[in-house]
Amino acid sequence: MRTSVLEYVCCPSCSSPLRIKVVQAQTAEHIMEGELECTGCARTYPIIRGVPRILPSHLIDPEWHARTIVRFGKEWQLFSEVELPFYEKQFLSFIHPVQPSFFEGKVVLDAGCGKGRHVRLAARWGARVVLGIDLSEAVEVSFAHTHHLPNVHIIQGDIFHLPLQPGKVDYAYSVGVIHHTPDPARAIQSIARILKKGGALSVWVYGRENNGWIIYLINPLRRFITSRLPSSVLMVISFILAIPLYLLSRTLYRGRLFKSILPYFDYIHHLSEFSFREIHSIVYDHLTPSIAFYLSREEFQSYWRKAGIEPELHWRNRNSWCGFGTVAESVSVSWTQEVNA
């Protein structure tokens, strides 16, 4: 943990600033072991293996929190790669219409940073500061990938009780996270709350449209079976399921000759440039969480409006939604458009 992170963090219980209470081990750049203290309520938060653990005392759903910490933490330890060349193109498709130049000089929040692949891109694209926050032990993987970057801070925190001072963040994004929480609408409101006026937000979620077979077949299996399996068993199952998906993406779905007759064409065609390892990771990711909401356009839009933001909604690969909006006193109704990046 770099001491400069204290400019941005706060106590999730009372919103007061934090200060360093104890330093037990440190390097030239980071406090590796120690303790932070709230200047208001005096609650303490440990610094463990270079990451401040600023978690709230009250959780929205303790069982979900416990499962999330274990399941997603394990996933990003198993699939820890961050340097794959297609991640940049993929990230830009998630946060469309944002481009790399948009990051220049901004304080940026990655709400649900996982293994840190997008944090690294945000830092590379010129963000002044990148705050990567995740609930799970994946923060340790993210810290390992970013500890050398002077403009990055990794924090273990809860998306519903973000340990950040309001009005400090220029731009926040949350990719594939809020639909795995118990209350996606509240998650968006929580992120919007810490943005400065005029700050921007991007969110990518699973869409309800065109995903009926997943909603009614895969979701029950995921909730009651695969999310409860040991990670070693799930690795084998997801590996087996990834084989036909990989073969289809490299054959029938590679070109566009059969676009009009093949189901799920846009999504599987999108996977055709991915390695087998990455497709294995995607299948594992779909099977590991206990919660997965598939949001219609109307639902997703309503969540933004509850947060006081009128979003631009973009249809991605005909099975998911990208949203983008800014915090302002007056907003105007925007439009939708299709994105097949």
The one-character DSSP state at 116 is: S
**DSSP reduced 3-state for 315:** strand
Euclidean distance between CA atoms 177 and 188, whole angstroms:
10
Question: Which segments within 77-180 are labelled E, that is strand?
Answer: 107-111, 129-134, 152-156, 169-175
The highest-confidence range among 13-22, 63-72, 255-264, by mean pLDDT, is: 13-22
Rg (CA), the chain: 20
Partners of residue 110 on adjacent β-strands: 132, 173
For residue 316, the surrounding DSSP H or E stretch is: strand 312-316
**Average pLDDT for 62-84:** 81
pLDDT tens profile 301-334: 999 999 999 999 999 999 999 999 999 754 333 3
For residue 252, the tally of other CB atoms under 10 A from its CB is: 16
Q: Mean pLDDT across the chain, nearest whole number?
A: 92
Ordered domains of the chain (ranges, CATH): 3-207+296-339 (3.40.50.150), 212-287 (no CATH)
Give the model confidence (pLDDT) of 113-167 as tens digits: 999 999 999 999 999 999 999 999 999 999 999 999 999 999 999 999 999 999 9
Q: How far is CA 330 from CA 170, 241, 333, in A?
A: 18, 48, 10
The pLDDT-based confidence of 88 (bands split at 50, 70, 90) is very high
* Secondary structure element (H or E) that encloses residue 199, with its range: strand 195-206
Residue 338 has pLDDT above 70, yes or no: no
Give the containing element (helix H, strand E) for 314: strand 312-316
Check residue 83 and give its pLDDT.
Answer: 78
What angle, rounded to 10 degrees, do the helices at 231-250 and 62-78 form? 60
- Residue 55: pLDDT band (50, 70, 90) is very high
> What stretches of 132-272 show up as alpha helix (H) in DSSP?
138-146, 184-193, 212-213, 219-224, 231-250, 265-270
The tens digit of pLDDT for each residue in 209-250 reads 999 989 999 899 998 999 999 999 999 999 999 999 999 999
Residue 65: pLDDT band (50, 70, 90) is low
Q: What is the mean pLDDT of residues 101-108?
A: 98
Q: What is the pLDDT of residues 163-193, one digit of tens each?
A: 999 999 999 999 999 999 999 999 999 999 9
